Structure 1
Amino acid sequence: MALPTGPSLVCSLALSVLTFAAMQMFSEELAASQLGTIAGGFVGSLLFCFILNAVGNAETLMFEKGFQTKLFPEVIICLLLSMGISAAVHRVCATTCLIFSLVDLYYINRISQATYAGTVTKPVKAPVKTTTGKKSK
């Protein structure tokens, strides 16, 4: 079950802070090996999701229920912020964070389209009468 907007904002902010703190605490371990740098980029992409969710919830609370998070500036700023935090661990973490975050963004967009986009129905065409060359009287 989904959280309402206000508690979701608080939860996303808390998870963002915890993820940032964990990345800083374990930065030496994450930067020590190749697998660690990939894991650091993955954790950075989780941070991107949490920050993007928090920004989207904050905008919904401030503006209106149907407000949408746009690619520029919200998504780009959240992506740069999470990549900067990942780069503080290791430079390769920032690159893998970018890759994982773009994959996350693709699936977030798919889920959003399936949940909020209206269904498009094709108009039904009237049957077309075909005539042969003769006219009937």
Structure 2
Amino acid sequence: MVSGGKIKNSEHRVTTNVSLCIALGCAVLMFSGLQMNKTLLSSTRLMTLLAGYIGSWLFIFLLTAVNNLESILFGKGFQARLIPEVFSCLVLACSACGMVHRVSVTVCILCSIVGLYYINKLSQYLYAAPSSAPISSSKKKK
């Protein structure tokens, strides 16, 4: 539970296997929702923007699924990198948005970058090792 920016209870977290299944299921639902409502989502400007926003959620779910799969295969300390994982998930999400409308691709890229920034910020907050190095003061000797 999150209260005041701090996580109080860590016993409600799901395992990596469950998170992989949930993220993969949500990614499939986002992709199929984009494809089934392709004509509706490309009908107006607002719906085209909505398709790009949905595509950014597809990117987030794909990246979560890929990272969980790598964590299962390669160990807990494995992290997603920019070039193979993030870029390939972004290309897949933009391809799904491109099937709807080309403006959706631009919105997907912009919203995905913002989402990636906040995911990185949250990840650093939750998983970064606490720094125990002493802070030295810069006083000149006489």
What TM-score, normalized to structure 1?
0.88
Report what 1:88 is aligned to: 99
Report what 2:122 is aligned to: 111
Structure of higher CA gyration radius: 1
Report what 1:20 is aligned to: 31
Report how far residue 43 of structure 1 moved. 0.2
CA distance in 1, matches of 2:45, 2:23: 29
Report what 1:34 is aligned to: 45
Report what 1:59 is aligned to: 70
Structure 2: which 5+ runs fail to align?
A: 1-11
Structure 1 residue 10 and structure 2 residue 21: aligned?
yes
Report how far residue 3 of structure 1 moved. 1.3
1:85 partner letter = A
1:17 partner letter = V
Task: Identify if the C-alpha distance between structure 1 residues 74 and 125 changes in structure 2 by more than 3 Å, giving closer, same or farther.
Answer: closer
Report how far residue 121 of structure 1 moved. 4.6
CA distance in 1, matches of 2:78, 2:19: 16
Report how far residue 128 of structure 1 moved. 6.4
Aligned length: 131
What CA deviation, in whole Å up to 9, does each residue of 1:54-94 have, x standing for no partner? 00000001111111111111000000110010000000001
**RMSD (Å), alpha carbons:** 1.9
Report how far residue 2 of structure 1 moved. 2.4
Structure 1: which 5+ runs fail to align?
A: 132-137
Among 81, 100, 106, the alignment partner of 1:70 is 81
What TM-score, normalized to structure 2?
0.85
Report how far residue 126 of structure 1 moved. 7.6
Q: Secondary structure of the residue that 1:89 maps to in structure 2?
A: coil
1:19 partner letter = M
Structure 1 residue 43 and structure 2 residue 54: aligned?
yes
